[in-house]
Structure 1
Amino acid sequence: MTYCVGLKFNRGIAFMSDTRTNAGVDSISVFRKMYTWEVPGERIFVLLSAGNLATTQSVVSLLDERSKAVAERSPSLLKTPSMFQAARMIGDTVKEVIATSASGGQNADAFSASFIFGGQIKGGEPRLFLIYPEGNFIESGDDTPFFQIGETKYGKPILIRAYDADMNFSQAAKLLAISFDSTIRANLSVGMPLDLLFYERDSLMVTYKTRLEQDDPYYREVSEGWSEALRAAFNQLPDFPFNA
């Protein structure tokens, strides 16, 4: 299992992903789930992955391979005319990889994978997509400003309650940190370190990228502060009027 979030707001797009991959309680590994393709000043793409590790790595490897020697490769992410066409290309690649993996008669569900894809191409708007294992996809909008993949239920409430389209990147990082902390505390299949990336509207390059380790002082401060704030809020609420 994993947890990834793409959060679109007026300033740009924030992305965060965990790095834990496990095949049982005694087989835990760290794998990157955030990938970027960038032509500074022309386009920037960010892809987050969840699901079967072999499938996600095959999809990313194919996209990466087809993006090299662009003049000689087709199709290529670096030649797509729009974010929509780029999302469609990723969806087609997902279908291609799953169909190939399941060609021996195995259940295609075993190779399932989903992706969050976002970025911007010069002349267009920043866009954010959720790509399903079937290869189809949906786009974020005013009513759905963020997408989650993987273990989504524990980190969703804070995103819904605290999201603000006018937030800055520091506030977005705080919101994502709380969402991930809530998920990590509730599910052992999601874990540190966490990859964080900001893309600022119209910059057409990665604005900021970092990895938060287990002992990161900011993450620990937010984690502990959120726990204390929840306890304080709980204690301030009225008790149930119970009379035995």
Structure 2
Amino acid sequence: MTYCVGLKLNSGLVFMSDTRTNAGVDNISTFRKMFTWECPGERSITLMTAGNLATTQAVISLLNERAKPAGDRGNPSILEAPSMFQVAKLVGETLREVIKTQSGQDGPEAEATFSATIILGGQIKGAPPRLFLIYPEGNFIEASDDTPFFQIGETKYGRPILVRAFDPEMSFEDAVKLLMVSFDSTIKANLSVNLPLDLHVYTADSLKHGTMTRIEKDDPYFNVISMGWGDALKYAFNSLPPYSFTT
């Protein structure tokens, strides 16, 4: 399983993804699920994947090949698309292409085996930062004021804190703290999601990659957040008025 989140702030975009993949309790591996491309001063693009690993790796490989100067020039490149909308369209078409190739002639039932979902965000010069959620069918939706963040993978455990606490005006520091709480809640509830976590913070109009780091299992700040959030929940629970049985 996977857990990835993309946040759209007034000050930019924040991305976080876990790195655990599993094909059963005895076959657990670590694979990167966050990928980036940039042309400094012109565009910065970040992509996160969830779903069948063979599918997502094939999508990333095709996008990389088509982005090379001497790559597959018969197909458009995400480094040449004129807008983030066109980048999202290109990524969706590539995802659909890979799923169709892998599923062969077996129809929709086979396609489900190779399903994948993608969060795509970034900025191209002359336009604001944009964030998209791309479905296996290749279609996509864009983040808005009403829906300012996207999750993919194991979303249910980390969603409540995002819904209650996210504010597009919050600082990058608070956004990262919020994501760590969301990921900690998911990790505590589901063994198929775990550290290391990959983080990318993109500042609006910088048109280059921002802070990119990997949060390891022994990260002191994450451990403080994990323990502090647990203690804060216990305190909040104990501070609520007790239930009264009436006769």
Corresponding residue of 1:196 = 199
1:161 equivalenced with 2:164 (yes/no): yes
Instruction: Pick which of 120-129 and 66-75 moved more.
Output: 66-75
Which of 161, 180, 183 aligns to 1:180? It is 183
1:210 equivalenced with 2:213 (yes/no): yes
1:63 equivalenced with 2:63 (yes/no): yes
Note if contact 1:48-1:117 (Cα within 8 Å) is conserved in structure 2. Answer: yes
Q: What SS does structure 1 have at the residue aligned with 2:79? A: helix
1:221-232 map, 5 Å = 221-232=224-235
The offset of 1:71, in angstroms, is 8.3
1:7-156 map, 5 Å = 7-69=7-69, 73=73, 74-105=75-106, 107-156=110-159
Deviations 1:143-182 (A, max 9, x none): 0000000000000000010011111111010000000000
The offset of 1:207, in angstroms, is 1.2
Q: Which amino acid aligns with 2:93?
A: D
Instruction: Pick which of 127-136 and 234-243 moved more.
Output: 234-243
Question: Whole-Å Cα distance in 2 between the matches of residues 159 and 40 of structure 1?
Answer: 31
Percentage identity across paired residues of the two chains: 63
Deviations 1:55-81 (A, max 9, x none): 000000000100001687231111100
Note if contact 1:70-1:79 (Cα within 8 Å) is conserved in structure 2. Answer: no
Note if contact 1:70-1:76 (Cα within 8 Å) is conserved in structure 2. Answer: no
TM-score scaled by length of structure 1: 0.98
Note if contact 1:116-1:130 (Cα within 8 Å) is conserved in structure 2. Answer: yes
Q: What SS does structure 2 have at the residue aligned with 1:79? A: coil
TM-score scaled by length of structure 2: 0.97
The structure-2 alpha-carbon separation of the partners of 1:152 and 1:71, relative to structure 1 and needing over 3 Å to count, comes to closer
Note if contact 2:65-2:71 (Cα within 8 Å) is conserved in structure 1. Answer: no
Q: What SS does structure 1 have at the residue aligned with 2:56? A: helix
The offset of 1:105, in angstroms, is 2.1
Deviations 1:62-120 (A, max 9, x none): 00100001687231111100000000000000010000001142611000000000000
Where in structure 1 do 4 or more consecutive aligned residues deviate above 6 Å? none
Unaligned 5+ runs, structure 2: none
Q: What SS does structure 2 have at the residue aligned with 1:8? A: strand
The structure-2 alpha-carbon separation of the partners of 1:70 and 1:82, relative to structure 1 and needing over 3 Å to count, comes to farther
Q: What SS does structure 2 have at the residue aligned with 1:223? A: helix
Question: Whole-Å Cα distance in 1 between the matches of residues 92 and 160 of structure 2?
Answer: 28
Q: Which amino acid aligns with 1:2?
A: T
Unaligned 5+ runs, structure 1: none
Q: Which amino acid aligns with 1:190?
A: V
Deviations 1:186-235 (A, max 9, x none): 00111110001100000001110100011100000000000000000000
The offset of 1:242, in angstroms, is 1.4
RMSD over equivalenced CA pairs, Å = 1.2
The total of aligned residue pairs comes to 244
